[in-house]
Structure 1
Amino acid sequence: MSSRQQQRRTRSIRWTAAMSLLLAAGCSHSVRSPAPPRVDSAPDFPLQTSSIVVPISGSLDDLQRALETQIPQQLWSIDRQLDSCVAAKRVDLGIARVKVLPKLGCRIIGDVRRGKLVLGGRGDRLTITMPIHATIAAKKVGGIASKTATGDAIVHAVARLSVVGNWTPSAKVSIDYDWTTPPGIDFLGQRIEFASKADARLKPVIAKLEQTLPKELNKLQLRAKLASAWKQGFTAIQLNRERPPAWMRITPKQLGVGGYSIDRRTLTLTLAADALTETFVGDRPADPVATPLPPPARKIGQRGLNFFIPVLADYAQLEPVVRRALLKRAQKGITLAGVGPVDVEFGKVTVYATTGGHLAVGVVAKAKTRQNALLATKGEVWLTAIPYNVPGSQLVRVGDVAIATDTDSEITNLLIALFKDGSIRASIAQGLSHDFAPDYAKVLTAARKAIGSRREGDFVLSADVTRVENGTLAVTGKGLFMPVHAVGQATIAYRPR
């Protein structure tokens, strides 16, 4: 045998031996890449501070009727003898002043009555208008004559309402009035004025409004209504029924007074409740423990409802997408460096959360070389990947797709070489990419509907979401979560059935 033939035979033996070893490895071993640890953590949403407007309304008509019963029709009456109704009259004769008419006494009889009270106002000013009519008679002036005088005035009161202490209404009332016709009589060329006497009696009567008004406001049962609203505020509101089921739990912390306002015939006390809003995914969370109604807070937070709406991409949604991407890649043909063309069958795909914010991706596959149909391998290979998104974008991409664990060398394990191929990893990354925009729109619509109007007893919670923005993706045990921060306005209105 020539040396050239000997060399050819030696190379043939070595190639056959190598192929036999590779064939033996392929036939006798399946890929056993250990699965990465599974993480079952729930999404963690931060606490948000919200300030929810709480208007408590009452009718001015009811308050007006109450004041009508409290303020008597006859404001005061008089019946008294005066020694001097008309002053003495003197005549100057040049050398002396001579009294020609002595001072005259009389008996004063009369009263002042009010007309209908009218309440009105606008903004934070409550106005009270009360007409009064005086009838005063001077009987037997100087023992010889009697005269009767009448007068009219309009009392104007402006009340600034507030709440003090343990939710007790208070009123600071400024009062003014003018005599349109001052009560008085003309007698013997002199004017007898009774306005000053009426003023002295009117002042304490009018001042009584400052005491009566808060008492009548208190009959609107402000504290009882607030205590009921406060207690019912410790609750959880469902934001979304499924995919994922989500809840917003509200924990009131303090209640501040925004002031009274008047619109047409409605008197409204506006309050603002500072509360914590938490987002939960899954079963309905337990209601927070209600605390007693606290005293009015001097300062409240900036108005606005703040909460998170979780948008979910379940891993079960991603698995068939990844498999379809791999099947599509296989149809184009796969050629591995140093191995040549490879026929691949992709089977089950498993996706779940693992440590470090990574996804674990398990792919069952079979692969064989076309040069030798007997050279084949099968099994499940585990990879890891990092999903990410740009804040404000609902498009999720995946990077750093890598083999989780190598258990066999690349020479003897065809699948390991397959999944280290860049095009295969790119197909996996493509399958794991997800556009949250449709889910985002559905969940937001559901949340707006859920909190749009909700009745709790005599109170109705209504909210309007005015602005939303999504944050960065979170890898959790339940799926890929995109936190959507929602901002809006909310009110709790007293509306008894």
Structure 2
Amino acid sequence: MILGHLLRFRRTFVLGLALLSASCSSTTGNPAPPKNQSPAELPQQTSTIVVPISVGLADLEAGLNQRTPQTLWKIDEFVPSCVPAQRLKVFGKKLKVTPTLHCRIAGQVTRGRISLSGSGDVLTITMPIRAAISAKNVGGIIKQETATGAAIVRAQAKLSVDRRWSPVAKVNIAYDWTDPPGIDFLGQRIRFTSKADAKLKSVVANLERDLPKELAKLRMHDRLQGLWKQGFASILLNRERPPVWMRVTPRELGFEGYRVSGRTLEMTLAAQALTETFVGDRPADPTPTPLPPPSPRYGSKGLRFFIPVLADYAQLEPVVERALVRRAKKGISLTGIGPVDAEFGKVTIYATDGGRLAVGIQAKVQQRSGIRATTSGVIWLSAIPYNETNSQRVLVRDLKIAGQADSRVVNLLFSLFEDPSVLEGIRASLTHDFGGDYQKVLLAARKAIAGHREGDFVFAANVSTVTNGTLKVTGEGLFMPVQASGQASISYKPR
């Protein structure tokens, strides 16, 4: 305790001598810390954007019906064993009762309307067919017998694309003869399904050839090229405080397959893109690259991007000024000096080295008793702003006079800014809650990406998860990086 009194006496005595030598009035301060003007740098993100391109099954149906002839095939051929020889077993031996009968088979198979349906990754093609086939000159006995039949042909198609994004199809056929064509003669049934079955192989080949051609008529490749080119874009996420842009640079385009949903055939792609965030002026749009071949890698689904929430230093300065004015009105008494009258003026805040804030405060302080010395000037403090992950409340720590000049111990102004109550007032005024700005920026970003159009393509996204990281001190302000993630898609919607 005695040592403490001696130190305070020494401090007061030395301060008094300094004030006397300054003719009871002085101007002082410490050098301003170096200014850090580095821009905010936010990490790049890789996003996978789902790109569904849809066509109506009715369009494909119309094309297939126009392309496929009504008469699927015709038959006109001689059959040497139209009716096999009939044999009876007599005394243990088989004896021929009637000979093998030849005939001529002629006729045609026609189709009804082709219809398309399906589910998931299987496209089902349904085609009713009717057969009218005659057996002529059977064994020289029967001049002609005509048989009619009907079947439902069902083809299941698996669609894909080749390296040039051209559609390909693998078709498997199945059918039911609801009324198999045939005639009865001499107790034998002459069936014509085997003849028709052989011809159905050519139907499969035609469908495998024609279905991709109909898909190609829908200009999928051209639409993909347009989508890929227009995917290189910059999207305005927030107009002010701060202006924020998301630049999208496609890298790969993966083919995830065709899917049938109701009366729609959907080609699903997954575009892997680089998503970058820029603050301030609109960045230059990335240079489009040629449409790449389909990629087998799809990556994890979802859109991911950063959007910064900004606290401009100019926003903080008047808050500190008001806090100091209120503190001065309450009266200040400095240890070892006594009551003083303090006036606080302009506050300047900017970024300095080491992730710190520089806080310059213009002030004037006068001792109320004794010598009544007056000191004025600008004192620079520095502090480290910080926040916890996923918290929008910013606090400061390690608030102190910058430079640590030894002369402050004999200067009334330095003593003022070493007072715990004054420092606490400054610390409290530098506390900032980003909550309001946080919600405004997210709302603006959600609106911006809800229906952004580039030509005939509309970019849409739903932000489902939002997290914020720790504070960054930059030359443009205090930046809180907010990471948003969700689902995104690009759809084809011509104007």
Matched-pair contact (CA < 8 Å) for 2:172–2:204: no
CA distance in 2 between counterparts of 1:359 and 1:95 reads 116
C-alpha offsets along residues 202-261 of structure 1, whole Å, 9 cap, x if unaligned?
222233212221222222222211111111111111110000001111111001111111
The answer to which of 94-103 and 22-31 deviates more is 94-103
Correspondence for 1:211 among 198, 209, 214: 209
CA distance in 2 between counterparts of 1:90 and 1:219 reads 59
5+ residue gaps, structure 2, are: 1-11
CA distance in 2 between counterparts of 1:94 and 1:148 reads 39
Equivalent residues in 2 for 1:461-480 (5 A)?
461-480=459-478
Matched-pair contact (CA < 8 Å) for 2:19–2:25: no
Amino acid paired to 2:419? D
C-alpha offsets along residues 251-293 of structure 1, whole Å, 9 cap, x if unaligned?
1100111111111110001111111111110000001111111
- Describe the shift of the 1:406–1:376 C-alpha distance in structure 2 as closer, same or farther (beyond 3 A): farther
CA distance in 2 between counterparts of 1:350 and 1:410 reads 20
CA drift of 1:407 comes to 4.9
Task: Name the structure 2 match of 1:86.
Answer: 83
CA distance in 2 between counterparts of 1:214 and 1:253 reads 27
Amino acid paired to 1:314? D
Task: Name the structure 1 match of 2:198.
Answer: 200
CA distance in 1 between counterparts of 2:406 and 2:453 reads 64
Task: Name the structure 2 match of 1:433.
Answer: 431
- Describe the shift of the 1:391–1:245 C-alpha distance in structure 2 as closer, same or farther (beyond 3 A): same
Task: Name the structure 2 match of 1:152.
Answer: 150
C-alpha offsets along residues 96-143 of structure 1, whole Å, 9 cap, x if unaligned?
766554433332220111111110001111101111111011123233
Q: RMSD value over aligned CA atoms?
A: 2.0
Matched-pair contact (CA < 8 Å) for 2:24–2:371: no
Task: Name the structure 1 match of 2:339.
Answer: 341
Correspondence for 2:317 among 305, 319, 340: 319
Task: Name the structure 1 match of 2:235.
Answer: 237
Correspondence for 1:279 among 277, 280, 285: 277
Task: Name the structure 2 match of 1:189.
Answer: 187
Matched-pair contact (CA < 8 Å) for 2:15–2:412: no
C-alpha offsets along residues 321-347 of structure 1, whole Å, 9 cap, x if unaligned?
001111111111111111110100001
- Describe the shift of the 1:17–1:463 C-alpha distance in structure 2 as closer, same or farther (beyond 3 A): closer
1:251 lines up with 2:244 in the alignment: no
CA distance in 1 between counterparts of 2:84 and 2:489 reads 68
CA distance in 2 between counterparts of 1:70 and 1:16 reads 108
CA distance in 1 between counterparts of 2:14 and 2:47 reads 75
Matched-pair contact (CA < 8 Å) for 1:76–1:112: yes
- Describe the shift of the 1:399–1:262 C-alpha distance in structure 2 as closer, same or farther (beyond 3 A): same
- Describe the shift of the 1:18–1:140 C-alpha distance in structure 2 as closer, same or farther (beyond 3 A): closer
Aligned pairs, number: 483
Task: Name the structure 2 match of 1:136.
Answer: 133
CA distance in 1 between counterparts of 2:92 and 2:339 reads 148
- Describe the shift of the 1:310–1:91 C-alpha distance in structure 2 as closer, same or farther (beyond 3 A): closer
Amino acid paired to 1:464? N
Correspondence for 1:122 among 114, 119, 124: 119
- Describe the shift of the 1:100–1:391 C-alpha distance in structure 2 as closer, same or farther (beyond 3 A): closer
Task: Name the structure 1 match of 2:165.
Answer: 167
Task: Name the structure 1 match of 2:349.
Answer: 351
- Describe the shift of the 1:81–1:329 C-alpha distance in structure 2 as closer, same or farther (beyond 3 A): same
Correspondence for 1:442 among 429, 440, 443: 440
Amino acid paired to 1:67? L
SS in 2 for 1:294: coil
1:265 lines up with 2:247 in the alignment: no
CA distance in 2 between counterparts of 1:35 and 1:304 reads 47
Task: Name the structure 2 match of 1:459.
Answer: 457
Task: Name the structure 2 match of 1:110.
Answer: 107
Correspondence for 1:63 among 50, 60, 64: 60
Correspondence for 1:36 among 25, 33, 51: 33
Amino acid paired to 2:261? D
Matched-pair contact (CA < 8 Å) for 1:78–1:108: yes
Equivalent residues in 2 for 1:274-313 (5 A)?
274-313=272-311
Task: Name the structure 2 match of 1:72.
Answer: 69
CA distance in 2 between counterparts of 1:167 and 1:340 reads 84
SS in 2 for 1:409: helix
- Describe the shift of the 1:358–1:16 C-alpha distance in structure 2 as closer, same or farther (beyond 3 A): closer
CA distance in 2 between counterparts of 1:466 and 1:170 reads 36
CA drift of 1:426 comes to 1.0
Amino acid paired to 1:39? N
CA drift of 1:86 comes to 2.8
Matched-pair contact (CA < 8 Å) for 1:26–1:412: no
Correspondence for 2:380 among 379, 382, 406: 382
Amino acid paired to 2:82? C
TM-score (norm 2): 0.93
Correspondence for 1:22 among 13, 19, 26: 19
Correspondence for 1:369 among 367, 370, 373: 367
Matched-pair contact (CA < 8 Å) for 2:16–2:371: no
Matched-pair contact (CA < 8 Å) for 2:171–2:204: no
Task: Name the structure 2 match of 1:4.
Answer: none
CA drift of 1:299 comes to 0.9
C-alpha offsets along residues 49-77 of structure 1, whole Å, 9 cap, x if unaligned?
10000111111111111111222111111
CA distance in 2 between counterparts of 1:168 and 1:333 reads 82
Matched-pair contact (CA < 8 Å) for 1:26–1:377: no
Task: Name the structure 1 match of 2:401.
Answer: 403
C-alpha offsets along residues 145-179 of structure 1, whole Å, 9 cap, x if unaligned?
32111111111111111122111212121111121
Matched-pair contact (CA < 8 Å) for 2:235–2:245: yes
Amino acid paired to 1:472? T
Task: Name the structure 1 match of 2:490.
Answer: 492
Matched-pair contact (CA < 8 Å) for 1:25–1:412: no
SS in 1 for 2:390: coil
Task: Name the structure 2 match of 1:416.
Answer: 414
C-alpha offsets along residues 407-464 of structure 1, whole Å, 9 cap, x if unaligned?
5624541101110111111111111110000110111101101111111111100001
CA drift of 1:32 comes to 3.0
SS in 1 for 2:316: helix
